[in-house]
Amino acid sequence: MAHFQELAKQQKTVEGALALSAMPRLHEALQALGVTDAAALDGIQVHYRLQGLPSRYFGEVSLPMLALSLQTTLPLVCQRCFEPMPESLEMTFEFALCDEPPEALLEDETVDWLESTDESSLEVLVEDELLMALPISVMHEEACTQLQQSAGEKPNPFAVLKQLKLDK
C-alpha cells in the first residue's frame, strides 16, 4: 500500500486510522491478554502518520528516512480482577531504508531499518510496532480492589504472545 521508498524520497506524509480488523495478529495478542469485550475491540482506532524525512548519513552512506507516529488507546484489562485498565500509547519511530544496513546504522539505537525492497504494507508495519509495545502482562500494581479468584488454569499469555511475534 504505502510505497516507502517513494514516500521517503518525496518527503510526503500519509496519515489515517486503522481498525483492529486490519491487524489480526494484534487482535489475537489482545485476546491472549484477556481482552474479550467485542465492543471494546471494535472501538480500537490506531491513528498513524508516516512521514518521509530528509535523507541521513550513517557513516558514509546517505539513506532515505521515514518516521512513523502512532497513537491509540488499547482497552486492556487487569488479568487478576478483570477491571478495565486502558493503555494509551503514543510512539514515534524512525526508519532508514536500505538493503544492507551499514555498521553505523546498526549501532544507532534510535533508528530502525526497513529493507528498501520490503513489500510490507503500512498495516504490517504499524501492527509490528504495536505488538512490540504491548505489555507482557497487565495487572494492578497494588492489590486489586475487588479480587475475584478465577478457577482453573489459564494459558500463559506470554507464551502465546511470543508465538505471535514469531509467526509474522
Contact call for residue 160 and Zn ion (CB under 5 A): no
The one among 5, 140, 160, 165 contacting Zn ion by CB under 5 A: 140
Element containing residue 107 per DSSP (H, E): helix 103-107
Report if residue 78 touches Zn ion, rule: CB under 5 A. Answer: yes
- SS3 for 98? strand
Which of 81, 89, 98, 124: binder of Zn ion (CB under 5 A)? 81
Per-position DSSP letters for 4-49, written without gaps between them: HHHHHHTT-EEEEEEEGGG-HHHHHHHHHTT---HHHHHT-EEEEE
Total site size for Zn ion, rule CB under 5 A = 5
User: Could you tell me the three cell numbers for 131?
Assistant: 505488538
Residue 89 binding Zn ion, by CB under 5 A: no
Of the listed pieces 41-49, 60-68, 92-100, 138-146, which binds Zn ion according to CB under 5 A?
Answer: 138-146
Beta strands in 59-86 (DSSP E): 61-74
Of positions 80, 101, 113, 129, contacts Zn ion by CB under 5 A: 80
Does residue 144 interact with Zn ion by CB under 5 A?
yes
